[in-house]
Amino acid sequence: MDSADSLADGVRAGRRAAVSRAITLMESSHPDHRSEARVLLAALEAPAQPAVRVGISGLPGVGKSTFIETLGRQLTTAGHRVGVLAVDPSSQRTGGSVLGDKTRMPRLATDPDAYIRASPSAGTLGGVARATSQAILVLEAAAYDVVLVETVGVGQSETTVAGMVDTFLFLTLARTGDQLQGIKRGILELADVIAVNKADGDRRTEAQAAARELSGALRLVHGREAAPAVVTCSGLSGDGVDAVWAEVLDHRSRLGVDGLAGKRSHQRLEFAWALVRDELEQRLRRSEPVRRVRAQVREQVLRGELPAVAAADRILAAYDGDPDDDTGEPVN
Ligand code: GDP
């Protein structure tokens, strides 16, 4: 591994190999690498103009990779440098990376002004989030002025991604089932811009109707001013992709310079606490004294001999190394 200084030089010069090595360093959970990563980050400078950070989410099959490929190409053609990162906690289970895979975006992957990075395939969501948030800083220091963070529309990963971007774009399809699911899971609450994708061929009219319906529903819920913009597009044909991007930039510019800075400051603070919670949970899992009481506590709770509150107290006492951890409370 290069020294942090020469790696920082390589990143600043925008050299791909250096960017890749730096991000690999950010992904490592090894304590030595973690401290090297901190040294490297300290040596990197934030860009003069904050990069545009956009989260892109949607269920598998909604057309994320096709959309990102088209959008990415439009942006690099317009002179931007585009970084694509992925947050995909499901890849832990399958052992492979589903998102951000280069083969999913073949043209963008060979574009000299684009950098695509697959989701790290190991670790907790917190670990993946830590790597991703630091990778954003690496890309920005390497003069990528647009960073797209892709995530699959399942579970906790959207909230995590929404906490590291300026604008959150949600891709959906005209089928009402998908929209309702989105609303139910609260993902639409996070969305700043919604695009009904695959608005092409026979589906065009259906998509436009779905967008109007969704827009109306969201205005009822959020009020006209606060409701996210709803547009249609086709990532495949490219129709409307520029309009989606215009809405993204519009949302971001409505935040204003101070608003954006404030949002990022709060995100940093939130993220610091999220990392602490993640780390504490890992320590709890690894704790030897907790392991020792776990089986007994489990049996007693399942048999109805130990109330939940007392069980929690006993586990915490074991974790804190309190020898007097028998609360001996009766069952309620
Ligand atoms: P992802 O899983 O969300 O990344 O979705 P993909 O981009 O891999 O697309 C899933 C499928 O939908 C593929 O067969 C694509 O060719 C198709 N697809 C993607 N975008 C569009 C679109 O805008 N219009 C149409 N008709 N099909 C699309």
Q: Which pLDDT score is estimated for 179?
A: 55
The mean per-residue pLDDT over the stretch 102-107 comes to 79
pLDDT surpasses 80 at 1: no
The mean per-residue pLDDT over the stretch 30-58 comes to 90
Using CA atoms, how far apart are residues 54 and 332, in angstroms rounded to an integer? Answer: 50
Ligand 1 geometric centre to CA of 198 (Å): 7
**Residue 95 pLDDT class (50, 70, 90 cuts):** very low
**What number does the ligand 1 atom closest to the CA of 171 have?**
3
Rg (Cα) of the chain, in Å, rounded? 23
Ligand 1 geometric centre to CA of 94 (Å): 22
Q: Which pLDDT score is estimated for 121?
A: 64
Using CA atoms, how far apart are residues 55 and 74, in angstroms rounded to an integer? Answer: 17
pLDDT surpasses 60 at 104: yes
Using CA atoms, how far apart are residues 258 and 275, in angstroms rounded to an integer? Answer: 26
Strands, DSSP E only, in the chain? 52-58, 82-87, 114-116, 146-152, 167-172, 193-196, 229-232
Task: Report the range of poorest mean pLDDT among 47-51, 240-244, 320-324.
Answer: 320-324
What's the mean per-residue pLDDT of the chain?
87
Q: Which pLDDT score is estimated for 321?
A: 87
**Inter-residue long-range contacts of 70-74, CB under 8 Å, 24+ positions, other chains counted:** 70/235, 70/236, 70/238, 70/241, 71/148, 71/235, 71/241, 71/244, 71/245, 72/105, 72/108, 72/111, 72/114, 72/148, 73/107, 73/108, 73/111, 74/238, 74/241, 74/242, 74/245
pLDDT surpasses 70 at 29: yes
Which of 151, 154, 158, 236 gets mutated to test ligand 1 (max ligand atoms within 8 A of its CB)? 236
List beta partners, residue 114: 82
Place of tokens 């069952």: 331
pLDDT surpasses 80 at 131: yes
Lookup: tokens for 28: 């490592």
Task: Report the range of poorest mean pLDDT among 52-66, 176-190, 291-305.
Answer: 176-190
Q: Which pLDDT score is estimated for 332?
A: 46
Which of 56, 65, 66 gets mutated to test ligand 1 (max ligand atoms within 8 A of its CB)? 66
Distances (CA, A) of 215 to 194, 210, 239, 242, 306: 9, 8, 20, 19, 51
List beta partners, residue 87: 151
Task: Say what percent of the chain tops pLDDT 90.
Answer: 58
Q: Please give the CATH superfamily to which domain 47-255 belongs.
A: P-loop containing nucleotide triphosphate hydrolases (3.40.50.300)
Distances (CA, A) of 259 to 62, 159, 191, 276: 31, 20, 17, 26
In the CATH scheme, what architecture does the domain 1-45 have? Up-down Bundle (1.20)
The mean per-residue pLDDT over the stretch 85-99 comes to 61
Q: Are 15 and 26 in contact (CB under 8 A)?
A: no
Neighbours of 284 (CB within 10 A): 13
Per-residue pLDDT tens over the stretch 285-319? 899 999 999 999 999 999 999 999 999 999 999 99
Phi-psi region of 234 (alpha: psi -120 to 50; beta: other; left: phi over 0): beta
Per-residue pLDDT tens over the stretch 244-275? 999 999 999 999 999 999 999 999 998 889 88
**What number does the ligand 1 atom closest to the CA of 233 have?**
23
The domain spans of the chain are 1-45, 47-255
pLDDT surpasses 70 at 93: no
The mean per-residue pLDDT over the stretch 30-38 comes to 87
